[in-house]
Amino acid sequence: MIRLRPLLLAVVLAAGSSGFAQGATARDPLEPLNRSVFAFNDALDRGLLRPIAQHYVRWVHPGIRQIVGNVFSNLSDPWVGVNNLLQGKPVQALGDFARFGINTVFCLGGLGDLASELGLPRHNEDFGQTLGVWGVPSGPYLVLPLLGPSSFRDATGVVAGSLADPVRRIESEGERTAVALTRVVDARASLLPLDRLIEGAALDRYTFVRNAYLQRRLNLVYDGDPPDEPDSDPEPKE
């Protein structure tokens, strides 16, 4: 079964800030291949995923969509906590595990987000960022079929995240597929307001998304405080 992850087009969020697309230096020796994969992903999105997401927004009540997003966020919190722990941030990791416990117990599996109301914010960490913190170079830019923008380092993180995905543990293949596809549609629906922005952002959408992705990942590895040289590979954080 092909697993579509919310990473598909999620990098488009980075383009919401024009600064992300400026000044990023890209190592893209695979550009001809990457452009072909980008075109395939874009055609799939325009022909299938975006229309489904639009119908999802049109017919599903916002409150229901919020609940769906809360559940998937809750499922991701333990893995976020693991990565915070691996990055040497035990306080944030403890918060992630506490979020999962509170929302699972008191919000019936994460239907709500009581943890945020209690002052435990959501974090955004993955194994690709963890590798960056450990000093692993990002390597060349890479566009993955179905999954979208990545790098050699982040692709390794995608594999690790996939293995840790709790959805994989659903025994019924039909239910597992339904849950995975619902997660993708919900994630894509949350990005619909940005479509017009991206369409008008640049003549070369490939270059714009590539630079936005690389700059955003650099910012994430350094927790919003990247070094002066944006084209240098991250070094481990103190």
Closest CA to 3 of 156, 191, 163, 141: 163
In a domain, 228, yes or no: no
pLDDT at 230: 47
Strands (DSSP E) found in the chain: 141-144, 148-151
**pTM for the full model?**
0.84
In a domain, 76, yes or no: yes
Q: What three-state secondary structure class fits 181? A: helix
Domain count, the chain: 1
Residue 66 structural domain: 10-221
In a domain, 120, yes or no: yes
In a domain, 112, yes or no: yes
Provide the residue-wise pLDDT of the chain in tens; the chain has 238 residues: 333 333 444 444 444 444 444 444 578 999 999 999 999 999 999 999 999 999 999 999 999 999 999 999 999 999 999 999 999 999 999 999 999 999 999 999 999 999 999 999 999 999 999 999 999 999 999 999 999 999 999 999 999 999 999 999 999 999 999 999 999 999 999 989 888 777 766 678 898 889 889 999 999 999 888 887 544 454 444 4
In a domain, 189, yes or no: yes
pLDDT at 201: 63
Q: At what angle do helices 62-86 and 173-190 cross, to 10 degrees?
A: 100
pLDDT at 236: 47
In a domain, 236, yes or no: no
d(CA 123, CA 152): 23
In a domain, 126, yes or no: yes
The DSSP letter of residue 145 is T
In a domain, 232, yes or no: no
